[in-house]
Structure 1
Amino acid sequence: MIHLAIKYFIRFGQLDIPSIGQLKLLKKEAELIDGVLKSPSEFIEFELNTGTPTKQFYQFLGSALDISADQAAIQYAQSWESKFENDQKVMIGNLGSISKNEGSYTFESHFNSSQFYKDIEVGNLPNSEIFETELSAQKNDKWAIWAIALAVIALLAILLKQ
């Protein structure tokens, strides 16, 4: 059952664990700081006792197990209860582990997005307005050349026709 919950978490970025808490996949965008493009980062956040799983989640489980959403909800809750009866630490795939110590739950993440993304040193980039003015000046120069060439051709055509 937990392997299906992990698939749901990877696909939708959120996993509710009944009577325990919620795992969320949060993302931080890349930033340009002092000539270094800081890599984007992703991390898993654990919140204690936040709500219950959504209907969409139970439908996901039900369709994967070929049972009704109600049966999936019951089996999912029972699977988590049975995990913490036997073990004080439950592994959630390669994402991390949830530990139970004296009635409180803690999450230890094994997910490290820094192994996938690295910082990039780009140096000081010139202002984009400078490039825009240079490009527009080049376009204007080319336009003027074509206008003069067409005017000369038109004058020659008029003079040769007479």
Structure 2
Amino acid sequence: MKIITFTAIKGGVGKTTLTLNYGDWLAKHGKKVLLIDLDHQCNLTTVFEKTRRNNTIAEAFKETDNAQKVKIDSVGPNLDLIAGFIDLDVLGSYLENNSNKEMMLFMWFKNNSDSLSLTDYDYILIDTHPDFSTITKNSIAISNYLLSPITPSEHGYNAKFDLETRLEKFRK
């Protein structure tokens, strides 16, 4: 299983489109793909279904025993989705005082890998919000690869270096 996060500091660079199209391409070539929408705008989710408030990726960031379970929806042949949550940004701000705040998704994967058959996927593709928040850092922490599209502009170029600087600090 390979986990790939599509991330960038700048918005409008095509993260969601790339996540969707690459996932679709992999699925059409026989790979089993799970898409995870970690952007509170939920654009990846709304391609397939209406947004909802229950059973979304937000459950992975909750520590209560009564938290509803994440639901994996089949959205096409070989293509599944964990829906985004419109208040994920608010939830992320609540995590700031948590000592494991940047490893919560990792721990959720570890604790739910068997019950949700996460290791059955060839690829897990994660779409993120254009920021370097706690939620985005969680996706980076579990990823084998990061893909960061940039626009051919001064702002796009600067965003590339901003992301590299932040990634280096996060690694340390």
TM-score band by shorter chain is under 0.3
Larger RCO (CA within 8 A; separation ≥ 6): 2
Instruction: Say which one has the larger Rg.
Output: 1
TM-score of the superposition, structure 1-length normalised? 0.23
Q: 1 or 2, which has the higher strand percentage?
A: 1
Return the TM-score normalized by structure 2: 0.22
